[in-house]
Amino acid sequence: MVDIHCHILPALDDGAQTLDEAVAMVRLAAESGTTDIVATPHANSQFSFHPEQIDEAIEMLRKASRNVLRIHRGCDFHLTYENLQDALLHPTKYTINHGRYILVEFSVAHVAKAMDDALYRLRAAGMTPIITHPERNLFLQRHLERIRSWVEDGWPVQVTAQSFLGRFGESAKLFAEELMKQGLVHFAASDAHDLSDRTPRLSEAYACVAQNYGEAQAERVFVANPKATLNGERLSLKTQTANQRSKKWFCFK
């Protein structure tokens, strides 16, 4: 599996706090079947984003974890005015492996219409925004049509893997399921922060998605699409409906 959203670099944000913890997270991910992690420190009002620091931290973590998996560069990019201006000036500063894809996070309570303009401006500068965890966003939970229109405009959607297991509550779980059913999920990623609660283990969520939507859907959102982002390849965003099983099903963490 390829995990495109993970706060695994030590002491850069609210993710791993020490090198030991980061190494343990890498090992846990590798043991559960992850081959590649995109390290995505926050860029928001609380944590600033310094590319050189991030490159150094990646190198340090690669060595300390003896390259048990590949670590790539990315960012959890909060769509603020200041961040947008900086990204427009430096289009590959925040993108995955300096390619086209950029993880974009909105504020939890409201997503202003002006955000659509911001997404278009990122695209005009050569970036493809990936909408991160809309299922956890209280505003977007009530505006599925907004997400559909983003996908139709060419912007893929990343759901947090543990949402399928109920980690973020019933409403996030139900919304993640609805997005899956409607073919509006293109990635599942850990958004891991630690070793005990929000971990980088993807195997349970993969099994849950495979059980309920079929192996092909799980492969698509945990493996094929994430892999394509590493090299900046284009994705097919056709909103085909997921292969939903008719029986009632549940996933437990």
Amino acid in position 168: F
User: Alpha-carbon distance 178 to 225, whole Å?
Assistant: 19
Whose Cβ is closer to Fe ion: residue 69's or residue 75's? 75
Whose Cβ is closer to Fe ion: residue 16's or residue 242's? 16
Segment contacting Fe ion by CB under 5 A, of 82-90, 184-192, 198-206, 217-225: 184-192
Minimum distance, C-beta of residue 163 to Fe ion, in the bound complex (Å)? 13
Whose Cβ is closer to Fe ion: residue 23's or residue 38's? 38
Collect all residues with Cβ–Cβ distance below 8 Å to 68 and sequence separation of at least 6. 26, 27, 30
Q: Does 76 bind Fe ion (CB under 5 A)?
A: yes
Minimum distance, C-beta of residue 138 to Fe ion, in the bound complex (Å)? 17
Whose Cβ is closer to Fe ion: residue 135's or residue 191's? 191
Minimum distance, C-beta of residue 12 to Fe ion, in the bound complex (Å)? 12
Residue nearest to Fe ion (CB): 76
Whose Cβ is closer to Fe ion: residue 212's or residue 229's? 229
Minimum distance, C-beta of residue 7 to Fe ion, in the bound complex (Å)? 6
Binding mask 209-238 vs Fe ion (x if CB under 5 A, - otherwise)?
------------------------------
Minimum distance, C-beta of residue 15 to Fe ion, in the bound complex (Å)? 8
Minimum distance, C-beta of residue 178 to Fe ion, in the bound complex (Å)? 22
User: Alpha-carbon distance 42 to 12, whole Å?
Assistant: 8
Q: How far is CA 176 from CA 7, 108, 164, 184, 209, in A?
A: 21, 16, 7, 9, 11
Q: Which of 13, 135, 177, 191 binds Fe ion (CB under 5 A)?
A: 191
Across the beta sheet with 2-6, the strand order is 2-6, 36-39, 70-73
List alpha helices for the chain, DSSP H: 19-31, 51-64, 81-89, 114-124, 144-152, 170-181, 203-213, 215-219, 225-230
Phi, psi of 233 (to 5 degrees): -75, 155
Whose Cβ is closer to Fe ion: residue 3's or residue 76's? 76
| Tokens of residue 195, six digits | 């070793």
Site residues (CB under 5 A) for Fe ion? Answer: 76, 191
